[in-house]
């Protein structure tokens, strides 16, 4: 997850736990670090994560640039991306889908709705696993 607001990162963690998703959640809190991380993957044995959740509003480099770098990288090109943003601007949605996002979700205001996102994440992860196998 690439998100600078730790509270939202915490909520995503709750959502995943709530829906029994097992795994490792890595949180990167600025766009510049995220880009370096993705580029570093090229020279490492590590795989790209199964699901990348991005907020478009990031410090240092915007989420849009992170997505562009992902599309250019060998390992991360086809990874499922969910944009989780507080913005409802149509331009942002257009950009996200153009850069290959699977889903664009506005951060819900209510706790219960946020937690339900866990189901969405789980679905995406399962279909990604099926594709790999």
Partner 1 sequence: MAAPPQTSLEPVELPELADEDRGALDPDVHFRAIWEQGTFACRLNLDGTFIDGNRASVEGCGFTRGQVLGKPLWECGWWSRSPEVQQRIRDAISRSIEGEPFRGEMRYWMADGSERVMHLACMPIRDESGRVMFLMLNGIDIGEVAESAPPGALLAAIVDSCDDAIISKDLNGIITSWNQGATRLFGYTAEEAVGRSILMLIPETLQDEEPRILAQLRGGKLIDHYETVRVSKDGSSHNVSLTISPVKDASGRVVGASKVARDVTERVRHEQAMREANAALQRANADLEQFAYSASHDLQEPLRMISAYSELLRKKFGGKLGALGDEYIGHAVDGAMRMERLLRDLRVYTNVSTGRHEPAAKIDSSEVLRKTLVNLQVAIQDSGAAITVSELPRVHMLDFQLEQVFQNLVGNAIVYRGDHPPRIHIAAERRDRDWQFSVQDNGIGIEPQYKEQVFGIFKRLHTASEHPGTGMGLAICHRIIERAGGRIWLESEPGRGSTFYFTIPHREP
Contacts to partner 1 by CB under 8 A: 5, 7-8, 10-11, 14, 86, 107, 109-112, 114
| Neighbouring-strand partners of residue 82 | 53, 103
- Which lies closer to partner 1 via its Cβ, residue 4 or residue 32? 4
- Which lies closer to partner 1 via its Cβ, residue 104 or residue 114? 114
Minimum CB distance to partner 1, residue 111 (Å): 4
- Which lies closer to partner 1 via its Cβ, residue 5 or residue 29? 5
Minimum CB distance to partner 1, residue 87 (Å): 10
Minimum CB distance to partner 1, residue 90 (Å): 16
* Contacts within 8 Å (CB) and 24+ apart, 42-47: 42/73, 42/74, 42/75, 47/75
Distance CA 127, CA 113 (A): 22
119 is written with which tokens? 């189901």
- Which lies closer to partner 1 via its Cβ, residue 6 or residue 94? 6
User: Exposed, middle or buried, 3 (CB in 10 Å: 0-12/13-18/19+)?
Assistant: buried
| Neighbouring-strand partners of residue 54 | 2, 83
Minimum CB distance to partner 1, residue 71 (Å): 29
């Amino acid at each position: 997850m690439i998100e600078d607001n730790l509270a939202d990162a915490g909520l995503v963690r709750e959502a995943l736990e709530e829906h029994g998703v097992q795994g490792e959640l890595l949180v990167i809190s600025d766009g510049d670090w995220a880009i370096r991380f993705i580029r570093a993957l090229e020279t490492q044995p590590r795989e790209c994560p199964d699901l990348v959740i991005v907020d478009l509003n990031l410090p240092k480099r915007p989420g849009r640039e992170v997505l562009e770098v992902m599309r250019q990288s060998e390992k991360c090109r086809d990874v499922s991306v969910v944009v989780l943003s507080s913005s409802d601007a149509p331009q942002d949605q257009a950009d996200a889908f153009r850069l290959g996002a699977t889903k664009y979700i506005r951060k819900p205001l209510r706790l219960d709705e946020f937690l339900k996102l866990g189901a969405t994440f789980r679905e995406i992860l399962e279909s990604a696993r099926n594709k790999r196998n």
